[in-house]
Amino acid sequence: MKVGESTQLRRVIGYFHGTIFLFSIIIGAGIFIAPKGVLKYSSLNVGVSLSIWAACAVVSMLAALSHAELGTTFPRSGAQYYFLKRSLGPFVAFFYLWINLFSTPAGIAARSLMLAGYITQPFYPGCFVPEMPKKCLALAILWCLGILNARGVKEVTWFQTVSTAVKMTVLGFISVTGIVLLVRGRRENLARFEKAFDADVPDASQIAEAFLQGLFAYSGWGVLVRIAGELKSPSENIPKCVVTALTLVALIYLLVNVSYLSVLTPKEIMSSDAVAVSWMDRVIPSLQWAISLGVSSAIVSSLNCTVFSTSRLWCMASQEGQLPLILSTLNIHSCPVAAVIQMLIFASILIIPSDLILLINYVGFTDWIQLGLMMMGLLKLRFQEPNLSRPYKVPLPFIFGSIAISLFLILTPLIKTPKMEHVYGLIFIFSGLLCYWIHVHLNQHSVSFVKVTCYLQLLFNVSPPEDHNEGISTEKSDLKEIFL
């Protein structure tokens, strides 16, 4: 660190790289695996399936724009946590943190194993990949991303830009090729779209399940609120980035699904374990490696963005006193490296016994529980603190719409078709009550704990941010010329 520099999170991410971050985390493995799930719960109805993809884009835009008010009103890293603590109290904030402490590492572990499987599969043609090399490679990928994050924002943003360009090239190829094949295709391919709504129409429960499958491919739109403390002009850039990124993502997703359906029948998609691979087998088998490259780049960039944004959330929770103080410390690259290391340790533990990664299935619907809580907190704060400075103010119908959608997506599967994973998920979520009671009533800041924190600071070469309340630098840094 240069003499005179402060140890703080720096506002160095502009509009372009903010949009890249949204692309990176949203366009992950979802577009390669969710089409099958959406089609399944749409009763193989092509018209309903494409309509749900379009509706998911609208729902995600609605939720993201509503969510954006949090980051513009409280422009600090981990804004969701800080907002929930201020609006609904420390228990709800801990409840949100409790879910993220386990579901995020579980999701990271699952995607790391998926990525390792894609990379190692060509070395084991015609048979299953052994678990040991796959897990070792997943661990190696995970810790390489940790090292990259420890190097600071500059390296992370350039990595995201390159990996996003690769996966966008592959998705663009699929989209354009599918449209060309559809225009020049055979009559039966066109008939698939002309009679798009002729199949059975799904019921309300199936539509809710189809929405959850499609929304999985759009998940991650809240990343800019988590890293609001490192965004330039967050009140202006967060809404602009959300509108730009989600509009382009929606267009790409629709074109990719049309491309899949122009080559494969709904039944062929349902019988495929990897829709993109089956599509390429039918179109240009010799370019099979391109799909693997696209899937790999999509997963790794989404993983990297998740590690980057979640470490900021944990850093904020540490500053607020609900996680150990060491997690709020920064290294010479202004990175909360201790939070990154803790996340990687949790994810590594979940990689070793692979069945534990099923935890992500039990808490998959908690994203919409969290969004519902945030929208209720937003509504409460509108009436409780009407004079609070709000550079960007979302219309009230957007808030009520987001709450209604959250309730529909949470309650419909629970009431219509309850499953054991829903019960396990609720048990896990409400076990946070016990942990919160332990945290509040039994937390003892002993001398030995302070000594451990000091030793860890020396080990990682980290220090608390100079402005502990914010941890944000508003000054222009020497990196400004590389960001738009």
d(CA 79, CA 73): 9
pLDDT > 60? residue 480: no
Residue with token string 């399940």: 209
What is the pTM assigned to this prediction?
A: 0.77
Pick from 12-26, 100-114, 260-274, 430-444: least confident: 430-444
Nearest to 294 by CA among 271, 311, 277: 277
At 362 the pLDDT is 52
Higher pLDDT, 211 or 118: 211
At 250 the pLDDT is 92
At 197 the pLDDT is 67
Q: Is 370 within 8 Å of 92 (Cβ atoms)? A: no
CB 355: neighbour CB atoms within 10 A? 7
d(CA 217, CA 35): 9
The stretch 134-141 carries a mean pLDDT of 89
Higher pLDDT, 202 or 246: 246
Radius of gyration of the chain (CA): 23
d(CA 70, CA 394): 10
d(CA 96, CA 366): 9
Name the range with the highest mean pLDDT among 63-67, 104-108, 189-193.
Answer: 63-67
Q: Is 70 within 8 Å of 96 (Cβ atoms)? A: no
Higher pLDDT, 126 or 87: 87
pLDDT tens digit sequence for 273-332: 667 777 887 888 877 777 778 888 888 888 888 898 888 888 888 888 788 888 888 888
pLDDT > 70? residue 213: yes
Give me the residue spans of the domains in the chain.
9-482
User: Angle 61-67-68 (CA atoms, 0-180°, nearest 5)?
Assistant: 90
Position 386, amino acid? P
Q: Is 390 within 8 Å of 192 (Cβ atoms)? A: no
Give Cβ neighbours of residue 199 (< 8 Å, ≥ 6 apart): 43, 44, 45, 46, 47, 48, 266
Helical H segments across 197-233, by residue range: 204-218, 223-226
Nearest to 462 by CA among 310, 318, 328: 328
Query: Token digits for 447?
Result: 């001398």
Maximal CA-CA distance, the chain: 77
pLDDT tens digit sequence for 160-187: 888 888 888 888 888 888 888 777 765 6
Q: Which CATH number fits domain 9-482: 1.10.1040.10, 3.30.1360.180, 1.20.1740.10, 2.60.40.10?
A: 1.20.1740.10
At 144 the pLDDT is 92
Share of the chain above pLDDT 90, in %: 8
Q: Is 336 within 8 Å of 146 (Cβ atoms)? A: no
pLDDT tens digit sequence for 398-457: 888 888 888 887 787 777 767 666 676 677 777 777 777 776 655 545 556 677 778 888
Helix 420-430 and helix 366-384, axial crossing angle in degrees, nearest 10: 50
d(CA 31, CA 255): 11
The stretch 336-361 carries a mean pLDDT of 74
Backbone angles phi, psi at 184, to 5 degrees: -100, 10
The stretch 456-461 carries a mean pLDDT of 83
Q: Is 170 within 8 Å of 290 (Cβ atoms)? A: yes
Q: What sign does the dihedral 35-40-42-45 (CA atoms) show?
A: positive
Can you tell me whether residue 231 is helix, strand or coil? Answer: strand
Q: Is 215 within 8 Å of 60 (Cβ atoms)? A: yes
d(CA 56, CA 250): 8
